Amino acid sequence: MWDVSADNSAQGGNGPSIAETGEFGLIRQITGHGATTASGEPVVVPEVLQGPGDDCAVLQFSGPVVSTTDALVEGVHFRRDWSSATEVGRKAAAVNLADVEAMGARPIALLVAFAAPSDLPLKWATDCSDGLRTEASEAGAVVVGGDVTRSAEVMISVTALGELAGPPVLRSGAQPGQVIAIRGLLGWAAAGLVVLSRGFRSPRAVVEAQKVPRVPYGAGVQAAAAGAGAMIDVSDGLLADLGHIARASQVVCNVDSEALPVPESLQAVSSATGISPQRLLLTGGEDHSLVATFDPGRVPAEWQVIGTVGERTSEPGVRVDGAVWEGAQGYQHFRQ
């Protein structure tokens, strides 16, 4: 793990660059201290028997393991002039940890591949690594290893591992008559992107939500324990991601727009930009909240019911107040 391919030519920059530091110096910097909680306590994950330092990490699970991978690319998922290195690291961890939560699993460990230009300041790389560890600790997980290499732009690819206490919560498990519920934010990250794209930094709450998703850690296990039928994290937009559940389950998901109140910060962005708050709520991505289906009366505390699951059909999809949503339902890579 942490095998390195890098150009050691000096490029200058703000403080020593990763090239000036050297391959193994960089490795020592990013693996030199363990994860700690917000209060400074070390994060101990019993399933991790051996972390960074050897060719592989060693983990021992007592139940089924879930795994997922997401890559964050500079200029596509983040900009260094918008976000700090710590924020980028936290986001890279959060988007993967949210997928583990969406399966009803408990996050355990992260493997990280980090690619960057040779002239990237060493401090940026170490701050990013700190962000990854910080976000992982929020979920009760740790970084156990990875790889670094050279690239034209910064790229961070994270593999997250989690453990199931029971069956996974799949997208294909929504049942007619169930209710649809959400846990977490909707539209905040999209509003933050709108604000940043126009050169502003407020409302601060939505800007911060764009930089670092507020994943509802623990809610996935909570939903699984409550018998959730299907679940997914909202990465591309509520309608787009509910569409995955609808198609996998062969049902129609009906969203009640009145069940989605407009927060003051989204209303402010809407008033300033002319973008409807409903569009932000229904199609905005990157919040990484969780949306799931439950039997009536079994929705866990803090989850908000926003709709219902209709009958099985050969034409599955999502409806808003009984009608098809006109326009894009969310973000699609390679088309936007």
Is 217 marked within a binding site?
Answer: no
At 37 the pLDDT is 52
According to the annotation, is 68 in a ligand binding site?
yes
Domains and CATH numbers, the chain: 3-163 (3.30.1330.10), 171-320 (3.90.650.10)
Q: What pLDDT score does 15 carry?
A: 83
pTM: 0.89
- Give the pLDDT band (50/70/90) at residue 7: very low
Asked if 288 contacts 234 with a C-beta cutoff of 8 angstroms, the reply is yes
According to the model, what pLDDT value does residue 333 have? 37
Peptide bond into 277 cis (omega under 30): no
pLDDT of residue 320: 97
Q: Looking at residues 41-48, what average pLDDT do you find?
A: 83
Check the annotation: does 34 bind a ligand: no
pLDDT at site 285: 94
**189-229: pLDDT as tens digits:** 999 999 999 999 999 999 999 999 999 999 999 999 999 99
pLDDT at 6: 32
What pLDDT does 216 receive?
A: 98
Average pLDDT over residues 317-326: 94
Q: Is the pLDDT of residue 334 over 70?
A: no
Q: What pLDDT score does 69 carry?
A: 97
Given this model, what pLDDT does residue 32 score?
Answer: 60
| Distance (Å, whole) CA 21 – CA 35 | 23
Determine if residue 81 is labeled as part of a ligand binding site: no
70 annotated binding-site participant: yes
Half-sphere exposure at residue 198, Cβ-oriented, CA atoms within 13 angstroms: 15
- Per the model's pLDDT, the better-predicted residue between 95 and 43 turns out to be 95
Note whether 107 and 162 are within 8 A (CB): yes
pLDDT given at position 162: 98
pLDDT at residue 335 above 90? Answer: no
147 is in an annotated binding site: yes
Instruction: Report the alpha-carbon distance of residue 77 to residue 59 in Å, rounded.
Output: 30
Q: Is residue 235 part of an annotated ligand binding site?
A: yes
For position 208, what pLDDT does the model report?
97
* Per-residue pLDDT tens digits for 178-199: 999 999 999 999 999 999 999 9
The whole-number average pLDDT for the span 43-49 is 89
Residue 293 has pLDDT above 70, yes or no: yes
pLDDT tens by residue, 233-272: 999 999 999 999 999 999 999 999 999 999 999 999 999 9
Taking only the tens place, the pLDDT of each residue in 118-175 is 999 999 999 999 999 999 999 999 999 988 889 999 999 999 999 999 999 999 999 9
Mean per-residue pLDDT of the chain: 89
Determine the pLDDT at residue 68. Answer: 98
**Which pLDDT score, from 0 to 100, does residue 10 have?**
30
Question: Residue 11 pLDDT more than 80?
Answer: no
Q: Answer yes or no: is 236 a known binding residue.
A: yes
Q: What is the mean pLDDT of residues 316-324?
A: 96
